[in-house]
């Protein structure tokens, strides 16, 4: 039977979450603002545009939201292009699935401006039929809609499509939408681990777990 996989990118295929955990603080510090103590919890479910809107509302930063997003992208782009690594054994798993004829895509809340540079450098772009972003869809992973759209574009259905995710809110949305979900361990959100393990159909600490 033909198999289809929808992969999240940040924290699922690439180890970029430490960068994202600090980027909001770094951006606010740049303008001399003290980040709120609960900043990470507030923005972890947001797209860049939502985060920029939150910053503008909270601190009245004298920039448009588009300008703020461009500045944040510029701050992260260099690290995506040069240093952000793959999750261990992720490439080997992608190779295995490609050899088996699995159709795969990336569904991400990040922006193509910087993720494509990382994917090219890490030599994984060729494994995917397409890259879908929440921004271009006009959706967020707070609902199952982006997963459903990606599934239809791949040509799959909920009986033969697997979702790989690391974020609790996205895992919850995919599960509520009826998807089989494999959760990938992410060290930057230890408080979510137990709930993720209970919610996901399978929980892996490394892609090596799927290569044995």
Of 17, 10, 12, 40, the C-alpha closest to 188 is: 17
Burial of 72 (0-12, 13-18, 19+ CB in 10 A): buried
pLDDT for 181 beyond 90: yes
Residue 132 has pLDDT above 80, yes or no: yes
* Among candidate residues 193, 167, 143, the one with its CA nearest the CA of residue 13: 167
Please name which of 204, 200, 150 lies closest in space to residue 175, comparing C-alpha atoms: 200
* Predicted local confidence at residue 187, as pLDDT: 87
Helical ranges in 31-89 per DSSP H: 39-43, 48-59, 65-82
DSSP 133-174: EHHHHT--TTSSHHHHHHHHHHT--TTTEEEEE--HHHHHHH
24 vs 164 pLDDT, higher one? 164
The whole-angstrom separation of Cα 112 and Cα 90 is 20
Mind listing the domains of the chain with CATH numbers? 4-15+85-210 (3.40.50.1000), 17-82 (1.10.150)
What is the structure's pLDDT at 38? 85
Per-position b or e across 149-178, b if 16+ CB within 10 A of its CB: ebbebbebebebbbbbbbbbebbbbbbebe
The yes-or-no verdict on residue 152 having pLDDT over 90 is: yes
CB 8 within 8 A of CB 108: yes
| pLDDT score, position 45 | 72
Residue 124 has pLDDT above 90, yes or no: yes
Write out pLDDT tens, residues 13-72. Answer: 999 988 888 889 999 999 999 998 888 888 877 878 899 999 999 998 889 999 999 999
Residue 189's pLDDT is: 84
Which residue bears the tokens 């039929």?
A: 129
Pick from 20-24, 77-81, 107-111, 197-201: least confident: 20-24
**CA atoms of 149 and 171, how far apart (whole Å):** 16
Residue 210 pLDDT more than 90? yes
> What is d(CA 132, CA 151) in angstroms, rounded to the nearest whole number?
11
Of 72, 66, 77, the closest CA to residue 16 belongs to 77
Backbone angles phi, psi at 159, to 5 degrees: -85, -20
* Global confidence as pTM: 0.86
Task: Tell me what the mean pLDDT of segment 131-150 comes to.
Answer: 96
The whole-chain average pLDDT of the chain stands at: 94
Please, are residues 107 and 100 in contact by the beta-carbon 8 Å criterion?
Answer: no
């Amino acid at each position: 039977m033909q198999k289809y996989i929808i992969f999240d990118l940040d924290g699922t295929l690439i180890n970029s979450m430490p960068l994202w955990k600090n980027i909001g603080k770094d951006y606010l510090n740049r303008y001399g603002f003290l980040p709120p103590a609960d900043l990470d919890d507030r923005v972890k479910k947001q797209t860049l545009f939502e985060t920029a809107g939150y910053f503008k509302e909270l601190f009245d930063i004298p920039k448009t939201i588009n300008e703020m997003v461009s500045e944040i992208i510029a701050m992260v782009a260099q690290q995506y292009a040069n240093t952000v690594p793959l999750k261990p054994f992720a490439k080997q798993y992608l190779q295995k699935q490609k050899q088996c004829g699995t159709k795969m895509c990336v569904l991400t809340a990040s922006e193509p401006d910087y993720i494509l540079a990382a994917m090219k450098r890490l030599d994984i772009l060729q494994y995917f039929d397409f890259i879908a972003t929440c921004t271009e869809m006009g959706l967020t992973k707070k609902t199952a809609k982006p997963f459903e759209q990606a599934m239809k574009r791949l040509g799959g259905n909920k009986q033969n499509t697997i979702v790989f995710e690391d974020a609790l809110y996205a895992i919850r949305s995919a599960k509520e939408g009826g998807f089989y979900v494999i959760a990938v361990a992410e060290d930057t959100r230890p408080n979510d681990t137990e709930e993720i393990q209970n919610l996901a159909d399978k929980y892996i600490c490394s892609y090596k777990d799927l290569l044995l």
